């Protein structure tokens, strides 16, 4: 079994970005908007900041109390939309309950929307328009496949989970690559049978160690997007790694798999936005 580690993928993407950014007249800039101090947000922010700065991308963190009013948040986003120096905007979600996400998502200018919050970018994904932005984790899955020379065209791919941020966009990206996709979820009656007939399994269901030997056929490729905690309080994926490691031909581990690639995708989106804004 080949372990599909995320680090070489992230490093490869970062190296390419560093070269690109060196040729720019100015440093690209990412604005991160964080309301409150959710530890998950802050951990991701640290990783994103470190990754971006290594690449030569400036990061401004706009931190506000979680009781900021909707009007203040909108005013701030409009300032960022209009600020020519800002190329990408990332707003941590979910937003506090008194703020209407359905209004805010339209306030992130679509060509700075590096985390795919604005539905215009979902529309571009749907149409297969490469000028849009796709949720970073979904792109991370595709970049892992690309880096390890896994061609999805014509393959049977089962996606477990149908969320807007992972299951749906991964399904679309794979469909655009001409894979035959099956989307399974909590109402699916025979998930293990479907995944057993699949060449590639992408799991993003958020159930610790659900995907065991009954789900995986000999030689299948398993991409584990889950981030869960097991019965001993240890970080684990959706896949029961020990149970399937002698069956699958390739597996992304958790940690050190898909999650390690996400911030490099975010950085690549900021660079892409910079190039669109500067016609280069």
Which residues are at the interface with a copy of itself (CB under 8 A)? 102, 118-127, 129, 153-154, 156, 162, 164, 168, 175, 178-190, 194
- DSSP-assigned states of every residue in 38-73: -HHHHHHHHHHHHHHHHHT-EEEEEEE-TT--HHHH
Neighbours of 74 (CB within 10 A): 15
Tokens of 278: 């500067």
Counted residue by residue, the chain has a size of 280
Rounded to the nearest whole angstrom, what is the least distance from the CB of residue 19 to a copy of itself in the complex?
30
Picking from 86, 91, 27, the residue whose alpha carbon sits closest to that of residue 54 is: 27
- By the 8 A CB rule, do 251 and 224 touch? yes
Identify which of residues 225 and 236 has a Cβ nearer to a copy of itself in the complex: 225
Q: Tokens 């993407």 label which residue?
A: 13
Rounded to the nearest whole angstrom, what is the least distance from the CB of residue 123 to a copy of itself in the complex?
3
Rounded to the nearest whole angstrom, what is the least distance from the CB of residue 24 to a copy of itself in the complex?
27
| CA gyration radius, the chain | 19
- By the 8 A CB rule, do 81 and 104 touch? no
Rounded to the nearest whole angstrom, what is the least distance from the CB of residue 115 to a copy of itself in the complex?
15
Identify which of residues 26 and 197 has a Cβ nearer to a copy of itself in the complex: 197
Q: Crossing angle, helix 136-147 and helix 167-176, to 10 degrees?
A: 40
Determine the Cα–Cα distance for residues 248 and 140; give it in Å rounded to an integer. 20
Identify which of residues 110 and 241 has a Cβ nearer to a copy of itself in the complex: 110
Identify which of residues 160 and 251 has a Cβ nearer to a copy of itself in the complex: 160
Rounded to the nearest whole angstrom, what is the least distance from the CB of residue 194 to a copy of itself in the complex?
7
Identify which of residues 179 and 254 has a Cβ nearer to a copy of itself in the complex: 179
What residues form DSSP beta bridges with 90?
A: 32
Rounded to the nearest whole angstrom, what is the least distance from the CB of residue 187 to a copy of itself in the complex?
4
Identify which of residues 40 and 153 has a Cβ nearer to a copy of itself in the complex: 153
Rounded to the nearest whole angstrom, what is the least distance from the CB of residue 8 to a copy of itself in the complex?
29
User: Sign (positive/negative) of CA torsion 93, 137, 44, 38?
Assistant: positive
Rounded to the nearest whole angstrom, what is the least distance from the CB of residue 16 to a copy of itself in the complex?
28
Chain-centroid distance of CA 143 in Å reads 10
Q: Tokens 């149409």 label which residue?
A: 127
- By the 8 A CB rule, do 167 and 161 touch? yes
- By the 8 A CB rule, do 13 and 264 touch? yes
Identify which of residues 131 and 234 has a Cβ nearer to a copy of itself in the complex: 131
Identify which of residues 97 and 187 has a Cβ nearer to a copy of itself in the complex: 187
Neighbours of 53 (CB within 10 A): 14
């Amino acid at each position: 079994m080949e372990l599909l580690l995320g680090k070489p993928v992230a490093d490869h993407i970062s190296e390419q970005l560093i070269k690109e950014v060196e040729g720019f007249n100015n440093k690209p800039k990412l604005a991160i908007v964080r309301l409150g101090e959710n530890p998950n947000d802050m951990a991701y922010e640290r990783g994103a900041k470190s990754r971006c700065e290594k690449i030569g991308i400036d990061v401004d963190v706009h931190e506000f109390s979680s009781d900021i009013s909707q009007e203040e948040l909108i005013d701030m986003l409009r300032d960022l939309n209009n600020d020519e120096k800002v190329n990408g905007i990332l707003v941590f979600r979910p937003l506090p309950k008194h703020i209407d996400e359905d209004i805010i998502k339209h306030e992130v200018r679509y060509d700075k929307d590096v985390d795919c919050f604005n539905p215009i970018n979902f529309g571009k994904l749907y149409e297969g328009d490469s000028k849009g932005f796709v949720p970073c984790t979904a792109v991370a899955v595709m970049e892992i496949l690309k880096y390890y020379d896994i061609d999805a065209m014509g393959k049977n791919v089962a996606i477990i989970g149908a969320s807007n941020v992972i299951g749906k966009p991964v399904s679309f990206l794979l469909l655009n690559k001409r894979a035959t996709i099956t989307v399974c979820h909590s109402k699916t009656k025979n998930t293990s049978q479907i995944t057993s007939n699949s060449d590639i399994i992408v799991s993003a269901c958020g159930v610790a160690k659900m995907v065991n030997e009954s789900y995986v056929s000999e030689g299948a490729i398993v991409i584990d997007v889950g981030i869960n905690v097991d019965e001993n309080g240890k970080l684990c994926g959706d896949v029961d790694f020990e149970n399937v490691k002698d069956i699958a031909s390739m597996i992304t581990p958790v940690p050190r798999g898909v999650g390690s690639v996400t911030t490099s995708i975010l950085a690549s989106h900021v660079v892409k936005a910079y190039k669109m804004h500067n016609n280069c």
